[in-house]
Amino acid sequence: MIVYDKKYDVIVVGAGHAGCEAALAAAQEVIAALVARAVAAGYVDDAGFARARSASLLRRGYGARRVDQALDAAGIDEEIRAGLRPDESAARAAALAFARRRGLGPFTREGQKEDPRRREKQIAALLRAGHGFGVARALVDSPDVAAAQGWAAGDGAADEGDGPADDGPAADLWE
């Protein structure tokens, strides 16, 4: 009889098909048990991760749609994602941060403000960043930085082009 000094949970004999399948099954059981222990100990916190990731993306200027896509790609449940969607003021602040960082709208250099192709590209950049069409249009069409900051703060909330409600039936495509 062979006596081992160490304790083994599984010993796989042979490297054929059956041995490989047994090793895989044993590894999956160990991984599942390890994940369960980590969740029970509080090391895995989807809601905490989602809060941190959402806040990070909003600070970097990404819109609600892009934040939701990133959280979905990370495997966060819909109910957690729904509770983290930014309100209108946070979405506007994120759009302003994105415009400032990328030099869009009122942050465009003086010689390039009147180019219609540049305006279209700026709106497209804001849309790719997850902002709605109305938000992108309002920000790109802001006459100066002070007006954009006022818009982001919620001053003049009845201004035309202020948000997706102004976009007609296709507004839900952009939000």
Per-position pLDDT tens, the chain of length 175:
777 788 777 777 777 787 888 888 888 988 999 989 998 898 888 899 999 999 999 999 999 999 999 999 999 999 999 999 998 889 999 999 999 999 998 998 876 667 788 889 999 999 999 999 999 999 998 888 999 999 988 875 434 444 434 444 444 444 4
Tell which residue, 86, 91, 81, has the closest CA to residue 47.
Answer: 81
Tell which residue, 93, 174, 90, has the closest CA to residue 134.
Answer: 174
84 DSSP 8-state letter:
T
112 DSSP 8-state letter:
G
Q: Per the confidence metrics, is the pTM higher than 0.85?
A: no
**Cα distance from N-terminal residue to C-terminal residue, the chain:** 70
| Total H helices, total E strands in the chain | 8, 0
Distance of CA 119 to the CA centre of its chain: 25
